[in-house]
Amino acid sequence: MLKTLLILCGSLLLCEGGLVKIPLIKFVEEKNLSHELQKLQIKFNITDIATMPPKYHYLDFSFYGKITIGTPPQDFLVLFDTGSHLLWVPLKTYTLDNEDFGRHHQYDPEKSQTYQLNGQPFFMIYESGYLSGHLVEDTVSLAGKEIQNVTFGVATYRPDATFRYAPYDGVMGMSFFNSSLHYAPPIFYDLMKQHKLEENVFSFYYLRNGSTRLGGELTLGGINPDHFEGQLHYVNISRKYHWQFEVESAHVNKIQVCKKCQVIADTGCNGIGLPRDDYHRVNRAIGATIDPETYQFVVDCNKINQLPEITFKIGDGIFTLSGQDYIKRLNNRCVSGFHNIGSAKFWILGDLFIGKYYTVFDFDKSRVGFAKTKQNIQITI
């Protein structure tokens, strides 16, 4: 199945009019909320975060896209993550341990004419253990756009509980770079350094509606006006570490739940993360109640259409999420998509928000932009 999806995704790769367009494949995955919260805790260095019973699961969409590495190219399906910095994929080791990577594609340096050893070890913590390996350099191609001498990680060990059944092979980080904290610059820095794009901008279009496996598009080098309606509303980055900015306010009905809040736009997060007090304030405002079995806020599935909107004022734009947008379903349970991220001093806007609003990440002008996503857009082969 994964090989078939890579072939399909590869047939759709486009580079036209200065834009590099990478189609995204949509998966419906069963998520473990405890694991998802621990991912956020590690990624954003949150010292105290809520925990959920391990049995608590929910269904949600995830979006992945194809890249190639090496000469000749080797295919990989990756998560494009604006909340992390490093590109990493599994390494083919030719040992019995190689079975740990199961059905995933593995980078084989012996088959690449452009491979160069870096050798620096890297280490990343995930919710079920650590992932480790070393850095290498090679050519990476994004929709036919080649980037030479990219430094990235090849994993020789990974936490099995997190990745064995994951539909993707690795992660491509797309955050800002901090030389004192990060192993290597995100690949977008190589795109900028090698002048591969007309504009140092990328944008995400997620298609959450419909049953098609095609889930949207990552556009490099600018924006694709076919995927949004109305005007883009921009806000400046407040801290160049993550894609962090200020939200002027947020309201549920007439109840203010946020005033000049710091927010991070994170494509690696499925829901919307809120500091503990805001988490309780927002969920109570939408009328959710605590499920004594899972300790999660839930609502009556028959009343989703009656739930209040949450309205964000970002820059000069107004953005709303309805109950249909922020409620997740699993069997007969309808749960809030607002998650408790404990002592964090910021909100995290993940796929629930980015799925409704076309999102632009602008390196040149240090800003992010949002506009209403066009739904039911056809991406043709």
CA distance 309 to 378: 28
DSSP assignment letter at 242: B
Among residues 75, 81, 169, 278, the one annotated as catalytic is 81
Of the candidates 70, 76, 88, 74, the one whose C-alpha atom is nearest the C-alpha of residue 155 is: 88
Sign of CA dihedral 252, 253, 257, 261: positive
Contacts with 171 (C-beta within 8 Å, 6 or more apart), sequence order: 78, 79, 81, 84, 86, 87, 88, 268
CA distance 53 to 129: 18
Respond yes or no: is residue 266 known to be catalytic.
yes
Among residues 190, 266, 325, 362, the one annotated as catalytic is 266
Phi-psi region of 70 (alpha: psi -120 to 50; beta: other; left: phi over 0): left
Q: Count H helices, E strands: the chain?
A: 7, 25
Contacts with 255 (C-beta within 8 Å, 6 or more apart), sequence order: 281, 285
> For residue 348, what is the enclosing H or E element?
strand 347-349
Q: Is the distance from CB of 338 to CB of 296 less than 8 angstroms?
A: no
Respond yes or no: is residue 81 known to be catalytic.
yes
Q: Is the distance from CB of 172 to CB of 85 less than 8 angstroms?
A: no
Name residue 372's beta-bridge partners: 229, 357
CA distance 306 to 278: 22
What's the Cα-to-Cα distance from 108 to each of 91, 113, 154, 159, 162, rounded to whole Å?
6, 11, 10, 20, 22
Q: What's the CA angle centered on 241, arms 237 and 244, to 5 degrees? A: 35
Q: Which residues are catalytic?
A: 81, 266
